[in-house]
A and B are shown apart, each in its own frame.
Chain A
């Protein structure tokens, strides 16, 4: 199956980010003032249920970030398996049927026939104009008109049954684990869980997890025979496209902040701590950058990148690599336009912190500036950084859609919700309306952004003591 691994720039960065957050998690677990708020997050019902949904997205995004050349069946002269020139991801490999079952053109969700009439030659040699059958969607049905609805219900039933089975298993494993940890019996744990008398809302967590599993199995079962969200203009499965877009959305939302964080933290703290000309210079820099309307700066930068890429086309090995670099560049330029807010916040906070007693004491003891910043100031502004990262995420996901719509977002060949919406604009003008592409992208984006919004509220409330007390 797997040939040579291909590590794209964004792949490397996203796994770096994962390592980074794991390291931060280990660091935070040892610090009471950081662990406490996270405890509040997992104790909130909204917190755990959105966490489950977000982790589902993250898993798909991470699976989609492991790229490699697939091996072909044929062998070369040396007897080794040849590998294909195309680059696919682990996720592509897992959903190979979805990826490969291409129809001719548009077809509605769960349809058995194409969207447009065509001339079909019957076995008798007669030519009629009718909706042709799909090559894959519902191809196992002899007589679609009569069997279709029963078949859908049958597949739904099987999917739900499988999903229920798996969620029951997961629930039992979890209860057993908890029983082992709390040193009580299985029954006692189950009773407490059902009555929801636990500090962590396990019942809500299990309910969300079970619904995710149910939907997952239901869609797996249905998409084994049908295109559950239809197909697009070139006959590609829309469900597959929407799933592939998850990676793009997540990358834009996270890498942008990763790119801007070092600059924002460093400059913000320096401006507030040193004051004087350092402060003036940094303030001047961010006011200048901030005064250019973000969209225009992004547009200008992406236009320049396009020119550069078309003039240096031979520097890029493949389309995937090219699209990937453009995505990375978009993250960087989005980062440049969005770091100023955090920088200003940190500057204010650092200005306050440099006057507090323990920093003054450290200065009096002759501790160096660098040590003071790292030991005393940085740990005290980390919560602001964290809140900003989480709050910015959903805005960035939405921004990607708008930018791609204006053609200054990700590469047109890349799967993204923005590109799907972009093409949906023309589809909505068709007769009959092709609505499924729009609906699919909106639905996937909405679930992600809504969970991110709700989650960020919980995180903010947990980390910001001022807000907590006013409730």
Chain B
């Protein structure tokens, strides 16, 4: 098991290196640091000195891959690629273009993101599984048909509509909770209720439909027929046999997104003014702060690969038939 995990982690290195090179090409080769400086300083009549100082302040004045001015190892290390891209492997994100420490910002903004993402995941899972089980109980009746129709309708509504509509209805018309904002400690709850609620509602359509197919697949299996033949009631069959076996794909589907919860939700956070990593990214995109976007791309990739690893491990834990090799 441990050997497998170590091998998988070693396998992650070339992938992260690939991500790194890709972002490097995207951010420094497609457009040179000069272009970026001009963009930031305004397009018209920028003096060469202004561009040079902007670059020097942020360490973009070095050569891209190979520094002929330096000696020995410095020829490779004193370059943008080494300083800006490879340092990410040490989780040294450097400072943003507006001169703030990115690593510190991320560690601060992680918590509000999690405060929304975890409740959305847990409550959503509960609601979807309950609803899907209910549909499976009433399968092939009108309840089933109309529930599926409802799910498809809910899937077809843009997530933006849930947010705008929910904010308008709950906050503006009914004045139940503030429209947006965030607070520390327990007083954050009143800001979190609405985004969590909307996150759950927005996920019902796709989630319930997916779980329904999983349940129905299990219901057609032989062991379920045997259980019924033994005289077990339908409720016991559903909870003890069907739910337990269908939990395998459900759980592994959840595990893969667990690490990515840290990244937060871009849209929800920016709509509700929650200072999480999602809104951090959005702000960086709109301010065109490349250092932050680069750091988030790398962080996202690391978390995704972690998610894949966790999924493989969790398979062996819940399903003894799967062996790691």
Contact = CB atoms under 8 A, between A and B. Distances in A.
B142 interface: no
A353 interface: no
A453 B296 CA distance: 33
Contacts of B288: 303, 306-307
Contacts, number: 127
Interface in A158-194: none
B56 interface: no
A284 B216 CA distance: 35
Contacts of B297: 292-293, 296-297, 300
Interface stretch (B15-23, B47-55, B315-323): B15-23
B285 interface: yes
Contacts of B164: 421, 424-425, 428, 438
A90 interface: no
Contacts of A438: 161, 164
A308 B31 contact: yes
A345 to B, nearest CB: 17
Interface stretch (B34-42, B62-70, B115-123, B237-245): B34-42
Nearest to A310: B43
B15 A284 contact: yes
Interface string B6-34: 00000000111011001100110011000
Interface residues of A, number: 46
B293 interface: yes
A341 B65 CA distance: 34
A44 B36 CA distance: 55
B266 interface: yes
A446 B220 CA distance: 34
A307 B285 CA distance: 13
B188 interface: no
Interface in B151-181: 152-153, 155-161, 164, 167-168, 172
A405 B158 CA distance: 12
Interface stretch (B77-85, B92-100, B105-113, B298-306): B298-306
Contacts of A284: 14-15, 18
Interface string A407-444: 11000000001000100110010000100001000100
Interface stretch (A34-42, A97-105, A125-133, A394-402): A394-402
A401 B43 CA distance: 29
Interface string A280-296: 00001101111111011
B263 A402 contact: no
Interface in A354-368: none
A450 B152 contact: yes
Contact of A408 (B43, B168, B285): B285
B285 A303 contact: yes
Interface string B260-295: 100100110010000000000110011010100110
Nearest to B167: A428
B interface: dominant SS: helix
B217 interface: yes
Nearest to A299: B285
Nearest to B205: A453
Nearest to A293: B300
Contacts of A445: 158
B156 A300 contact: no
Nearest to B20: A288
A300 B18 contact: no
A293 B304 contact: yes
Given A296-B281, A402-B159, A304 B300 contact: no
A330 interface: no
A449 interface: yes
A50 to B, nearest CB: 11
A295 B297 CA distance: 9
Interface in B205-225: 216-217, 220
B22 A299 contact: no
A406 interface: yes
B160 A303 contact: no
B242 to A, nearest CB: 15
B15 A407 contact: no
A286 to B, nearest CB: 10
Given A288-B18, A293-B260, A402-B160, A300 B26 contact: yes
Contacts of A307: 31, 35-36, 39, 288
Contacts of B36: 307
Contacts of B38: 311
A470 interface: yes
A9 B31 CA distance: 24
Nearest to A457: B152
Nearest to B157: A446
B290 A453 contact: no
Interface in A328-375: none
Contact of B35 (A292, A311, A424, A470): A311
A291 B304 CA distance: 6
A244 B301 CA distance: 37
A433 B39 CA distance: 37
A449 B153 CA distance: 9
Contacts of B270: 406
Given A292-B19, A303-B285, A421-B160, 5 more contacts: A291-B304, A293-B301, A300-B293, A300-B294, A402-B159
Interface of A: 284-285, 287-293, 295-297, 299-301, 303-304, 306-308, 310-311, 394, 398, 401-402, 405-408, 417, 421, 424-425, 428, 433, 438, 442, 445-446, 449-450, 453-454, 457, 470
24 contacts: A291-B301, A291-B304, A291-B305, A292-B23, A295-B281, A296-B281, A297-B297, A300-B294, A304-B26, A304-B31, A306-B288, A307-B31, A307-B36, A307-B39, A308-B30, A310-B43, A311-B38, A398-B158, A406-B270, A417-B158, A446-B157, A449-B156, A453-B155, A470-B216
